[in-house]
Structures are given as C-alpha cells and as structure tokens.
C-alpha cells in the first residue's frame, strides 16, 4: 500500500510539474489532472492522481505531522 502526502504545485510546464513538500521538491507528471501553480495535489509513483482543496490539504498535512 502506498500513502501520499499532499504537496503544492510550484511550477507547471506542459505535462511536467514541480511539487513542493516540507523539506523537498519533486517532479511529477500531470496524469489526467489539470493543475496550475498553487494547487494542492496527491502524487503516486510520480503521477498526480488527485487535486485537493486547501482545506483537504491542511487536514491531510495535519495527519502527516502527527505520524
């Protein structure tokens, strides 16, 4: 089972994005999602699988902070 932490999109270049997490940034492909700078996303195996609302991202980030 894979778990995904929420990350914030900081750059979009076509199908490629840069996603920022606490302490690191990673490249991810957009998959089927349309994303823009500032969106919160979940990434699995280098592919964005879901966009999150800011409230969902804050809630999920709180869970990761306590894990």
In angstroms and rounded to an integer, the radius of gyration of the C-alpha atoms of the chain is 11
> Which pLDDT band, with edges at 50, 70 and 90, does 66 fall under?
very low
pTM of the model: 0.84
| Domain count for the chain | 1
Give a yes or no: residue 41 inside a domain. Answer: yes
Give a yes or no: residue 39 inside a domain. Answer: yes
Q: Whats the size of the chain, residue-wise? A: 67
pLDDT tens digit sequence for 4-62: 789 999 999 999 999 999 889 999 999 888 999 999 999 999 999 999 999 988 887 66
Q: Which domain holds residue 12?
A: 7-66
pLDDT tens digit sequence for 39-49: 999 999 999 99
* Structural contact between residues 40 and 59, judged by C-beta atoms closer than 8 angstroms: no
- Cβ-defined contacts of 10-17 (< 8 Å, 24+): 10/37, 11/37, 12/36, 12/37, 17/41, 17/48
* CATH label of the domain that carries residue 19: 2.30.30.140
What per-residue confidence (pLDDT) applies to 2? 61
Of 37, 39, 19, the C-alpha closest to 27 is 19
């Amino acid at each position: 089972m894979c778990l995904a932490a929420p990350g914030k999109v900081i750059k979009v270049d076509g199908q490629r994005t840069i996603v920022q997490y606490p302490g690191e940034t990673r490249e991810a492909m957009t998959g089927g999602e349309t994303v823009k700078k500032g969106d919160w996303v979940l990434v699995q195996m280098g592919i964005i699988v879901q966009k999150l609302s800011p409230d969902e991202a804050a809630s999920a980030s709180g869970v990761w902070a306590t894990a």
